[in-house]
Chains A and B, each alone.
Chain A
Amino acid sequence: MLDLGWFIFLSPFFGFILILLFGRFNRHLPAIISSASILVAFLISAKIFLGLGSGTVYQSYTWFYGIHYGIFIDHLSIAMALMVSFVSLMIHLFASYYMGRDPNKHVYFAETALFTAGMLGLVVASNLVIFFLFWELVGLCSYLLIGFWFFKPNASAAAKKAFIVTRVGDMLFLVGMALLYTYLSPYTSHPLSIPYLISQSNISTIVAEIGRYRLGLVAVLLLGGAVGKSSQFPLHVWIPDAMEGPTTVSALIHAATMVTAGVYLVARVFPIFLDSASFSIYLVLIIGSFTALYAGTLGIIVNDVKRVLAYSTISQLGYMMAALGLGSLIGMSAVPFSIYHLMVHAFFKATLFMAAGAILISLMDLRDIKKMGGLWKRMPFTVSLMFIGSLTLAGIPPTAGFFSKGEIVSASYAYFLHYKTIASLAPYLFVLFGEFFTALYTFRMFFLVAIGRPRSYLAEHAREAPIWALLPVAALAVLSIIFGLFQHGFYSYFVPSFFVVAIPPLFDWLPLIFALVGIAVAYLFFGTNRWKSMKIARNPFYRLLKNKYYLDFLFTNIIAERVIHPLSSAFGRFERGYNTSNEKFGQSVVSLGDTFRRLQTGVVENYLTFIVAGISVILIIVLFLGGL
């Protein structure tokens, strides 16, 4: 008997099939089916959440060679499942407005339903192999949805870029999994089962048997997968381009859910990171915190509203990673620290993206914030929602962002206090200055969009979206305000006695101060008209940022064009030569067949001769080989 938990991801999957079958017959049907199926998934998740208590749900069947397929639901996965299904539901509701006139609506909703199924399947998967299959499924959906408007050349190029860059990470993930399987298969019959890997008693046996360093290697390879999926430095280059897809896709996949799968992977197998050699978890910390700052600095010069949000996503994912990286001090409490920010981020980032989507619809897809301005007067409700989202993103109380992000910054100061080395100071500085840049780019974008005078015809004639379309956005905005109430409850749901950060009060308030300074700077330049008279085009720092630290240049122009392309064309030449020689060989074989055919004279006397002669020759050869 299948556990109810299976239907968490089967329900959207059935929705996907129904849309494929019937979606094209009615304009409204696809949105209704997909929303309904995701609502069912949400309700099932809620039911399991209420009934779960302190236990887990685990049901699995053998697939082959010790690989099981099944579901494993513990507190981590049910929290994720609730978040994913809820946010996805809200975004689907908004998408019924946003995608309202698209002729390929049924394709869109089929793909997003499939994506949601894949994401929920990934969340409840009981085995790393199954996890990986769903991981690839959401990657595929991401590819399809980024390129949904495939007639835009940018969109299809971006889809390819996203697919290829994440593939690098996936490769590492796969290798890590294979290594883990090889290491563990002598000791256990189910080496890749998640409940097996994360149980405390097993992990110490694993460490004893395969050693901390080899386990650390596995952890680093898994982290490689997470870095690709969660777009951490240096594999972050695909997300900004992915903004070519529909805005709801950006909200669903590239802000709230899929990109968090990498963080979720690390959190899922967190005991491996905790108990392996310490370099693995430090790598998590340093990558995460560096990305948080790095992407934040990139955000301050971008003029495309969606790209600003994309960089902020990268940066916030960096915070989540950094929180996990603090595990060497705070232990398993790192997981709720990180997942709490993950959920808050999902709420406010979906809010921001959908508000931006409403603006883009009204401005005929004009995405340059320098051409907006004064929209608060013209679209008060939408821009207010965006304001709430921005406050949460910048971490201003009383929004949930203040609690979720502040806790991470404070904890990393505690981390520095505990270790007192440069290596432990760097992450703290990264995330602290990250706060400043977050506030700066967020409110730069917000001020340019919302206040001042309209700077284009379209902005002058902007109109509010219908109120029903904005209700789901409002729901998420409300959540991002009040979710801070649940901070400690959330932490203790994961780890009953979670790590309490105790640092001097000044440092507790430092993140807020940095954020406020950031907002003030943003207002100073972008709340007024001062930015128009800035001459920064020749400023070296500006050019560095404009070229994204030359990382794209390195990947595309140096690695891809100078190294991989010549290599592949050399392979291509080899291939061609090989093919021609194959063809030649094939032709000669066929003509040999012709010769054989001529032996077939059709005269029976010849056949008899052939038999007798043939047998005799064979016998002579046999005698010769047998050595008579």
Chain B
Amino acid sequence: MYTSPSVWNVTGASSLQHYYPLFVLAIAGFVILFLGTLRNSRRVFASITFGALILAALMIASDYNAGVIVPAYRINSFTTFFAILFIISGLIITYPALKSIRKKGEVFYALLLFVTVGMLIAAFSYNLIVIFVAFEAVSIGTYLMTGFSRSRRALESSVKYYFVGVLSTSFIIFGLAYYFFYFGTFNLVGSSALQANSTAGLVSLAFLVAGFGFKMALFPMHQWALDTYDGAENSVSAFLSTGSKLVSFVIILKLFLVGFNSIHQYVFYFFLIISIASMTYANIAALSQKKVKRILAYSSVAQAGYLILALVVVSFTTSATTISYAVAAAMYYSLVYLFMKSGSFLAVDVAGKDDATLEDLSGLGKRSPTTAASFSILLLALAGVPLTGGFLAKFYLFLSVIQGNLWWLAVIAVINSTISVFYYLRIMVYMYARPPKENDTFVLSYKMKVPVYITAAITLALGLWYPVFNWILTLSGGLFW
């Protein structure tokens, strides 16, 4: 039943110009590797990376309506939106990462660029094999980035990440095999008609979600994430919990909205359980945490649970407006999440310690009011407090849940975000209500503070600038073609 040879024809497409952004990033990566043999100037590498990412972002943005290049590679408003998000997640950590790289800076930045190429392909691709390869490129690159700083903790976290990743890869391969077995194609677009009510296809679904979902750190695939986010450098944690997590999310979105017929009881229950379990488990587990990065890691698991709510809705409802609303809400959530999460991971750098506890943040409000205020904005956004982007993101997401007639699920989600307020506010309590310690280790250089300021400002601006959502609503339509 092997029907579509053109699927493999990725580079032989008629118009090569649509791949230029990928070439830019890849070439920049090799240039950096080459320069690295001559001299080790990390700032230059960072600047090249930054420039290449910006250039690629501009090229992608200008090419957003290219349409179907080959069946496996589609450039539309939806994929472009996520591609830009991935590039931003790389941009955010480009300069903050300088702090943690002592040697072989060229390798780190080349890896960052290669990983970004993988993420872009994963965003644009509508073919499971291509997605799989891109996903593996992201995985392998991030294994290395995690272990880059060579501290014991980083190495350990990298190894854990690697083992879990290997297991997930095997899941994905199983899933792919079943997918091909039932549908006779790896293409997502053509297959939806094939499996209108195919119970058998759900086997492949389970494997694929388990495989791709591990990077999203969904329950029960979340445990590596806590150790890895905790052990890795802050900039790498920021990248893992935003860019690489959203890659998984976009893959799963495409898998279920384009590939599978999404209205199916099993799909609904599956995502329902995963979503509720992720939210509840992570929010409750975070309550008793003392380490700041672990709190943020748990919060990241919970946020993945919120994101998956969109899939719960689309697998429950048949109304086209509700589906596109839910997708737009998820896109908006991803956008806000990108800034608030990476910003808060980078803010932990200020504590100046590898293993910062809440105590290490005490008195930040006195030592650097602006940093504390920015960090507070990010935390409040994560908690979903009004006037921040996090509120609007949660608002639209929960609204879409209610639109899908799942008000009880919205109640569960709201209760969960109420629980989460406790641990976010606890960080703020330490920052403001506790006096600074005598021997505090704060590192308050501008390199540490500026990324926090910028992300906080953007999070705040997103909360005040309502029309963004309507704009995203128009973009969400791209998913279906």
Q: Which residues of A contact B (CB under 8 A)?
A: 586, 589-594, 596-597, 599-600, 602, 604, 606-608, 610-615, 618-619, 621-623, 625-628
Known: A608-B163, A622-B273, A626-B266. A597 touches B288 (CB 8 A): yes
Could you give 13 example pairs across A and B, Cβ below 8 Å? A589-B419, A591-B288, A593-B287, A597-B285, A597-B288, A600-B285, A604-B164, A611-B221, A612-B167, A614-B219, A615-B206, A615-B220, A618-B277
In the bound assembly, the distance between CA atoms of A594 and B289 in angstroms comes to 8
Stretch at the interface among B176-184, B223-231, B332-340: B223-231
Inside 8 A of A625's CB, which chain B residues have their CB?
265, 269
Residue B364 lies at the interface, judged by CB distance under 8 Å to chain A: no
| B144-165 contacts to A (CB < 8 Å) | 159-160, 163-164
Which 6 pairs of residues, A with B, have the shortest CB-CB distance?
A614-B220, A596-B285, A593-B288, A593-B287, A607-B223, A622-B269
B281 CB-CB contact with A under 8 Å: yes
Flag if B224 contacts A604 (CB, 8 Å): yes
CB of A191 to closest CB in B, whole Å: 25
Q: Which positions in B face A, CB cutoff 8 Å? A: 159-160, 163-164, 167, 199, 206, 210, 214, 219-221, 223-224, 226-227, 265-266, 269-270, 273-274, 277, 281, 284-289, 419, 422
Contact assessment for A611 and B220 in the assembled complex, using a CB-CB cutoff below 8 Å: yes
A603 to B289 alpha-carbon distance, docked (Å): 19
Q: Are B289 and A597 in contact (CB under 8 A)?
A: yes
Q: Indicate the member of A590, A599, A600, A612 with the most B CB atoms within 10 Å.
A: A600
Q: Is the CB of A593 within 8 A of B285?
A: yes
Given A593-B286, A604-B160, A622-B266; 4 other pairs, CB 8 A cutoff: A613-B220, A618-B273, A622-B269, A623-B266
Q: Are B270 and A618 in contact (CB-based, < 8 A)?
A: yes
Instruction: List residues of chain A with CB within 8 A of the CB of B419.
Output: 589
Report chain A residues within 8 Å CB of B288.
590-591, 593-594, 597
B206 touches A596 (CB 8 A): no
Most chain A beta carbons < 10 A, residue from B167, B223, B265 = B223
Among candidates B164, B220, B223, B422, residue contacting A600 with C-beta atoms closer than 8 Å: B223
Query: Is A619 in contact with B287, judged by CB distance below 8 angstroms?
Result: no
B266, chain A: closest CB distance, angstroms: 5
Q: Within 8 Å CB of A591, what residues of B?
A: 288
Residue of A nearest to B159 (CB): A604
In-complex Cβ contact of A618 among B274, B281, B422 (8 A): B274
With a cutoff of 8 Å between Cβ atoms, the chain A residues found around residue B221 in the complex are 611, 614-615
- Residues of A contacting B210 in the complex (Cβ-Cβ under 8 angstroms): 611, 615
Closest chain A residue, CB of each to CB of B207:
A615
Kindly state the separation between the CA atoms of A163 and B270 in the bound complex, as whole angstroms. Answer: 56
CA distance A341 to B204 in the complex (A): 86
Query: Which chain B residues lie closer than 8 Å to A606 at the CB level?
Result: 223
Q: Of A592, A615, A626, which one neighbours B284 at CB under 8 angstroms?
A: A592
> Contact between A593 and B164 (Cβ–Cβ < 8 Å)?
no
Residues of B within 8 A of A628 (CB): 199
Q: Which residues of B contact A590 (CB under 8 A)?
A: 287-288
Q: Which residues of A contact B164 (CB under 8 A)?
A: 604, 607-608, 611
Contact A589 B220 (CB under 8 A): no
Chain B residues near A607 (CB-CB < 8 A) = 160, 163-164, 223-224
Main secondary structure of the interface of A (DSSP, over half): helix
Report the nearest A residue to B266, measured CB to CB. A626
- Kindly state the separation between the CA atoms of A594 and B270 in the bound complex, as whole angstroms: 27
A615 to B419, CA, bound (A): 25
Determine the chain A residues whose CB is within 8 A of the CB of B199 once the complex forms.
Answer: 628
Instruction: Find chain A residues with CB under 8 A from B269 CB.
Output: 621-622, 625-626
CA distance A604 to B158 in the complex (A): 11
Bound-state CA distance A611–B206 (Å) is 12
- Contact between B223 and A589, CB atoms less than 8 A apart: no
Write the chain B residue with the least CB distance to A607. Answer: B223
Contact A611 B214, beta carbon cutoff 8 Å:
yes
Task: Give the docked Cα–Cα distance between A359 and B221 (Å).
Answer: 83
> Cα distance A58–B206 when bound, in Å?
65
A626:B265 contact, CB within 8 angstroms:
yes
Bound complex: CA A604 to CA B166 (Å)? 12
In the complex the two chains form, what is the Cα distance from A611 to B219 in whole Å?
8
Q: Distance in Å from the Cβ of A579 to the closest Cβ of chain B?
A: 15
- Tell me whether A589 and B287 are in contact (CB under 8 A): yes
The CA-CA distance from A612 to B163 in the complex, in Å, is 13
| In the complex, chain A residues whose CB is within 8 Å of the CB of B224 | 604, 607
CB of B206 within 8 A of CB of A589, answer no
Chain A residues closer than 8 Å to B270, beta-carbon distance: 618-619, 622
Distance of A596 Cα from B294 Cα, bound (Å): 13
**Which residues from chain A contact B219 at a C-beta distance below 8 Å?**
614
Cα–Cα, bound, A191→B79 (Å): 46
Nearest-neighbor residue (CB-CB) of B274 within chain A: A618
Residues in A with CB closer than 8 Å to B273 are 618, 621-622
Closest to B226 in A: A600
Provide the residues of chain B in CB contact with A597, threshold 8 Å: 285, 288-289
* Complex contacts, B285 vs chain A, CB 8 Å: 593, 596-597, 600
- Minimum CB distance partner of A624 in chain B: B269
- A353 to nearest B CB, angstroms? 45
Q: Which residues of A contact B167 (CB under 8 A)?
A: 608, 611-612
Residue of B nearest to A603 (CB): B160
Closest to A614 in B: B220
With A610-B223, A611-B167 given, is the CB distance from A589 to B266 under 8 Å?
Answer: no
In angstroms, Cα B206 to Cα A591, docked, is 32
- Chain A contacts for B214, CB-based, 8 A: 611
- B-chain residues with CB within 8 Å of residue A602 when the two chains form the complex: 227
Cα A529 to Cα B335 in complex, Å, equals: 86
A601 to chain B: closest CB distance in Å? 8
| A289–B422 alpha-carbon span in the complex (Å) | 58
- Chain A residues with Cβ under 8 A from B289's Cβ? 593, 597
Complex formed: what's the CA distance from A591 to B419 in Å? Answer: 14
**Once the chains are docked, how many angstroms separate the CA of A596 from the CA of B297?**
14
> What residue in chain B is nearest A621 (Cβ atoms)?
B273
> Please, how many angstroms separate the alpha-carbon atoms of A597 and B283 in the complex?
12
Task: Identify A619's interface contact among B206, B265, B277, CB under 8 A.
Answer: B206
Are B281 and A596 in contact, CB atoms less than 8 angstroms apart? yes
Closest beta carbon of chain A to B409's beta carbon, Å: 14
Q: How many angstroms from the CA of A589 to the CA of B420 in the assembled complex?
A: 12
Q: Which residues of A contact B287 (CB under 8 A)?
A: 589-590, 593
Give the chain B neighbours of A600 by CB distance below 8 A: 223, 226-227, 285
Task: Report the minimum CB–CB distance from B99 to chain A (whole Å).
Answer: 26
Chain A residues, Cβ within 8 Å of B284? 589, 592-593, 596
A503 shortest CB reach to chain B, Å: 63
A608 nearest CB across to chain B (Å): 5
Could you tell me the distance between the alpha carbons of A619 and B269 in the complex, rounded to whole angstroms? 9
A615 to B223, CA, bound (A): 13
Closest chain A residue, CB of each to CB of B288? A593
With both chains docked as a complex, state the minimum distance between the C-beta of A584 and any C-beta of chain B, in angstroms: 15
Chain B residue numbers with a CB within 8 Å of A604 are 159-160, 163-164, 224
Give Cα A390–Cα B221 distance, bound, in whole angstroms.
87
Measured CB to CB, the nearest residue on chain A to B419 is A589
Q: How far is the CA of A619 from the CA of B219 in the complex (A)?
A: 13
Q: Most A CB atoms within 10 A — which of B214, B219, B287?
A: B287
Q: How many Å from the CB of B281 to the closest CB on chain A?
A: 6
A623 → chain B closest CB, angstroms = 8
CB distance from B408 to the nearest CB of A (A): 15
Q: Which residues of B contact A615 (CB under 8 A)?
A: 206, 210, 220-221
Q: Bound state CA distance, A95 and B226, in angstroms?
A: 67
- Complexed CA–CA distance, A596 and B270 (Å): 22
Q: In whole Å, how far is A577's beta carbon from the nearest beta carbon of chain B? A: 20
Nearest CB of B to A588, in Å: 10
- Bound-state CA distance A294–B286 (Å) is 66
A597 CA to B220 CA in the complex, in Å? 14
Give the residue among A608, A611, A625 with the most B Cβ atoms within 10 A. Answer: A611
Interchain CA distance A471-B139 in the complex, whole Å: 86
Shortest CB distance B214–A (Å): 7
Name B287's closest neighbour in chain A (CB-CB). Answer: A593
CA distance A606 to B266 in the complex (A): 28
Residue among A607, A621, A625 with max Cβ neighbours from chain B (10 Å): A607
Between B159, B199, B210, B220, the greatest number of chain A beta carbons within 10 A of the residue's beta carbon is seen for B220
